[in-house]
Amino acid sequence: LNPAKRGAHAAASLRPPDPAFVEGWSPASGVRMVTLAPELPGALDVVRALTSAGVVVSAGHSTATLDEGRAGFDAGITTVTHLFNAMPPLDHRAPGLVAAAIADQRVTVSLIPDGIHVAPAMVALVWQLAGRSRFAFVTDAIAALGMPPGTYRLAGAEVVVDEMAARIGDVLAGSILSLDQGVRNLIGFTGCSAAEAVGAASAVPARLIGAMDRGMLRVGARADVVLLTRDLNVAATVVGGCVVHAGPR
């Protein structure tokens, strides 16, 4: 990650890109996706090493310019980590990584639809520009999700959580957005259908990481299913074909 855009990540934990460090990383060894800043020296070599091993590489926590973002996508980066956040804003004279990602048909854009990390109008704009096949959303939720307001710990740091967000000082530190609330928000922000919003939380990210046995209902797919009510609240959760959670009847 670029130290200038590290967000809530500890500075002491950062390291420069090094192909030798990621040697052996692969889905088989437990590494499915890696976020890095493509503008850092040596980053593109790491991108090539990871993608050749089947790891999905995401651009994020970055100060990349438009050209640096494009170079990262040409090297094999296929997505971005929480679009707009921990990167320069979209600017009409300095389009940057945001514009590079939205414009590139090879790239799946993901963002946090809590209405705080990205304004609802901007979520709607990205939805219109990227389309449902390239739009995924992430919660970026921390362990305080579902907990009452208070003070919690994140990677050794003190996090203050209120009814809407989690912060370390003035810096957003992940979110407290649940996936089902994200689905409801996406519909409210964009006017998309329930099926499209659910797809942005399931089928699109599953396809991005090559998990073709997930994100769909068909014979042979994983029997991991969330059942929603008509108002899109969780009615039941099925994992491996077994009901592990059932809401009130």
- Catalytically active residues are 140
Distance CA 143, CA 1 (A): 22
Kindly give, in sequence order, each residue whose CB lies less than 8 Å from that of residue 97, ignoring residues fewer than 6 positions away.
Answer: 38, 59, 62, 64, 65, 66, 68, 69, 80, 87, 88
Residue 52 belongs to what H/E stretch?
helix 43-52
Instruction: Assess contact for 5 and 63: CB atoms under 8 A.
Output: yes
Q: Which amino acid is at 181?
A: Q
E strand intervals along the chain = 33-36, 56-59, 79-80, 109-111, 135-137, 150-154, 157-161, 166-168, 171-172, 225-228, 234-239, 242-246
Distance CA 196, CA 186 (A): 9
Distance CA 9, CA 17 (A): 16
Distance CA 151, CA 2 (A): 27
Closest CA to 81 of 104, 105, 103, 56: 56
